[in-house]
Amino acid sequence: MNKPLDTASEDYQAIYSKYLLRGRNMLTDAETRAISVGAGGAVIAGASWATFIDNAMTQDTLLSRVQRVETTTSFTQPVLTTNNTLNTGVAEASLGTGGSPLFTKTAQGTGTSVTEYTFSLNKVTSWVKVSNELLNDSQAGQDVEAFLQRELTSKMINEINRQMVVGAGSTECQGVYNSARNYARTAATGVATTNTIKDVLSAAWLSGASTDSPMDYESWRNSIAVVNSRALGSWDPSAYPILFPTMSGAMKEGTVYEGLPVVYQRLTTNASIASGEPLVCFADFTKYLLATNVGGFSVARYDETFADTNQTLFVGSVRADGALLNAAGVLNVTRS
């Protein structure tokens, strides 16, 4: 073995497993040459890891809905920032180029506005510490690798989810909440206290703000209701009844608002939701593009970092970037 092996081969997986459990110093020179080393000395994971990550993404509430592209390069993609009206009965040659080419056909219509987002594939990392006694247990080898696979993948997905909701862009994914703020996709409930689900839905559908329009039906039925978890600072249902639609516990898995799945994310830094701050962000993640390099997922093993506690640190990393490509797919509803 004088050159790197294909990461999908059984030989590569065997060497990679040995690296995880025993460290690079325990590899022969031939084995060291056979594995692929990524940036910073991290070792590219075997293809089975990429498959595991892909499967985990397809089961995730947010990631299962997004458009995904696997790439290793940066690129720029158009973003439709205002609603447009599709013209019918018009020759395609006569259509404008206002719409993003990712979604159906391009369209010319009223109020069409386009900007661009540059996908730059920033590093997303996750880490876990493992006891050296466990790593040295020959009987636990396969289970330890499965544990690392689950832990590193779970933490990575949690971080990508956070970025997809509240990421600032540039050095991380641009979150839908910030997209709504950037593109004036905000509606207020008109109620200062005791905001109910009815108040939120009325704001989403009946807003009279000239810079804001209700979500179209397609976006609405595909949306996820991202509730500002800061509202949990008060467990009084009379204060934030939007969190308690049935009084049976809104944190229960499977909670829905008018049929929409519900997730919770901190959208503000205040201990409670102030006037003008968001109660809910309605987001259609089918209009979100996530660029990843899952095939380049790598794991670095650090034997010395926690040597004083007899532990080994594993750091997994993948490159990703994402953005909403149609601003009609998001709406922030704020309290007044």
Give the residue carrying structure tokens 């689900």: 197
Residues 94-138 have pLDDT tens digits of 444 444 333 333 333 344 456 889 999 999 999 999 999 988 887
Give the pLDDT score at 1. Answer: 55
What mean pLDDT is predicted for residues 184-208? 78
Contacts by 201-206, CB closer than 8 A, 24 or more apart = 201/258, 203/333, 204/282, 204/331, 204/333
Rounded Cα distance between 219 and 29, Å, is 55
Give the pLDDT score at 192. Answer: 80
Do 127 and 293 meet the contact criterion of CB atoms below 8 Å apart? no
Two structure tokens written together for 105? 């056909």
Do 216 and 317 meet the contact criterion of CB atoms below 8 Å apart? no
Give the pLDDT score at 269. Answer: 83
Residues 146-170 have pLDDT tens digits of 999 999 999 999 999 999 999 998 8
Q: Is 302 helix (H, G, I), strand (E, B) or coil?
A: strand
Residues 214-256 have pLDDT tens digits of 677 778 888 998 988 877 665 444 545 455 444 344 444 445 6
Give the pLDDT score at 193. Answer: 73
Q: Which of 87, 88, 80 is nearest to 109 (CA)?
A: 87
What mean pLDDT is predicted for residues 53-70? 91
**Choice between 104 and 73, residue whose per-residue pLDDT is larger:** 73
Give the pLDDT score at 322. Answer: 96
Query: pLDDT at residue 213 above 70?
Result: no
- Low-confidence winner among 61-65, 82-86, 99-103 (lowest mean pLDDT): 99-103
Share of the chain above pLDDT 90, in %: 30
Rounded Cα distance between 60 and 181, Å, is 25
Give the pLDDT score at 86. Answer: 46
Half-sphere exposure of 178 (CA within 13 A, CB side): 16
Give the residue carrying structure tokens 């993640």: 285
Give the pLDDT score at 214. Answer: 62
Report CA-CA distances (Å) from 294 to 53, 153, 168, 299. 7, 11, 22, 12
Beta-ladder partners of 224: 283
Do 34 and 15 meet the contact criterion of CB atoms below 8 Å apart? yes
Q: Is 162 helix (H, G, I), strand (E, B) or coil?
A: helix
Beta-ladder partners of 225: 262, 282
Q: Angle 268-271-273 (CA atoms, 0-180°, nearest 5)?
A: 60
Rounded Cα distance between 82 and 183, Å, is 8
Mean pLDDT of the chain: 79
Rounded Cα distance between 282 and 228, Å, is 11
